[in-house]
Chains A and B, each alone.
Chain A
Amino acid sequence: GDSVTQMEGPVTLSEEAFLTINCTYTATGYPSLFWYVQYPGEGLQLLLKATKADDKGSNKGFEATYRKETTSFHLEKGSVQVSDSAVYFCALSDRGATNKLIFGTGTLLAVQP
Chain B
Amino acid sequence: DGGITQSPKYLFRKEGQNVTLSCEQNLNHDAMYWYRQDPGQGLRLIYYSQIVNDFQKGDIAEGYSVSREKKESFPLTVTSAQKNPTAFYLCASRHQESTEAFFGQGTRLTVV
Contact = CB atoms under 8 A, between A and B. Distances in A.
Contact of B99 (A32, A41, A104, A106): A32
Nearest to B108: A41
Nearest to B104: A43
B56 A98 contact: yes
15 contacts: A32-B99, A34-B100, A41-B106, A43-B104, A44-B43, A44-B92, A45-B103, A46-B101, A49-B100, A51-B99, A100-B33, A100-B58, A101-B43, A102-B45, A104-B42
B contact face: mostly helix, strand, loop, or mixed: strand
Interface string A6-44: 000000000000000000000000001010100001111
Given A43-B103, A51-B99, A98-B56, A105 B33 contact: no
Interface residues of A, number: 23
Given A98-B56, A102-B45, 8 more contacts: A43-B103, A44-B90, A49-B99, A93-B101, A95-B99, A100-B48, A101-B43, A103-B42
Interface of B: 6, 31, 33, 35, 40-43, 45, 48, 50, 56, 58, 90, 92, 94, 99-106, 108
A42 B105 CA distance: 5
